[in-house]
Amino acid sequence: MNNKIDTPRIAVFAGSFDPMTVGHWNILQRALPLFDKIIVAVGINTEKHCCQPLDERMAHLNRLFSNTERIEVASYSGLTVDFCHEHGARYLLRGVRNMADFEYERNIADINRTVAPDIETVILFAEPQYAAISSTMVRELMTFGKEVQDFIV
C-alpha cells in the first residue's frame, strides 16, 4: 500500500497532569496507534494552585513514558497552539468525559481554529469507567487522606 502520507502525524496531549490519571493514560494508549508521535505537554500555569511541583511531575512523566518509543514529555508556557507549531504537531488530542467537557473543548477548538487554522483537534470519548475521574477529584481525595492508587498512574 503506497498511498500512505509522508508527513509524520504528531499530536500534542496537553494538561497540568497534577496528577496524571488513569483516564489520561487510557486516552494516550488508545490514541497511540493513530499518531506517529504524541507529545505529553505539561502546561506551566503560574496562577493554578498545584499540588506537585513541576519538576517532580516532569520526572514522574519521563519515567512513565521512558519505554514508550513514540511518546515524548515536555513542558510549556504560552498558548498550546504555539507549542504545537514549534514542535511540528498538527493535532491536539483531547479526551471528552461529559457535556461540560464537550462544550469547553468545542469552544477552545473553535478559537484555536481561528488563531491556528492548521491545527486540528481530535477527540476521543473517555471510557465510561474513567469518565468521573479528574485530577481535581484525585487531589481532593488525597487532601482527605484517601487512597488514590486506583485513579492515577
Query: Of 52 and 121, which has the nearer Cβ to its own copies?
Result: 121
Query: Of 5 and 48, which has the nearer Cβ to its own copies?
Result: 5
**Interface residues for its own copies in 38-97 (CB under 8 A)?**
69-70, 78-79, 82, 90-91, 96
Three-state SS string over the chain comes to CCCCCCCCCEEEEEECCCCCEHHHHHHHHHHHHHCCEEEEEEECCCCCCCCCCHHHHHHHHHHHCCCCCCEEEEEECCCHHHHHHHCCCCEEEEEECCHHHHHHHHHHHHHHHHHCCCCEEEEEECCHHHCCCCHHHHHHHHHCCCCCCCCEC
**Interface residues for its own copies in 104-143 (CB under 8 A)?**
105-111, 113-115, 120-125, 127-129, 131-134, 137, 141
Site for its own copies, rule CB under 8 A: 1, 3-5, 7-9, 30, 33-34, 36-37, 69-70, 78-79, 82, 90-91, 96, 98-100, 102-103, 105-111, 113-115, 120-125, 127-129, 131-134, 137, 141, 144, 146, 150-151
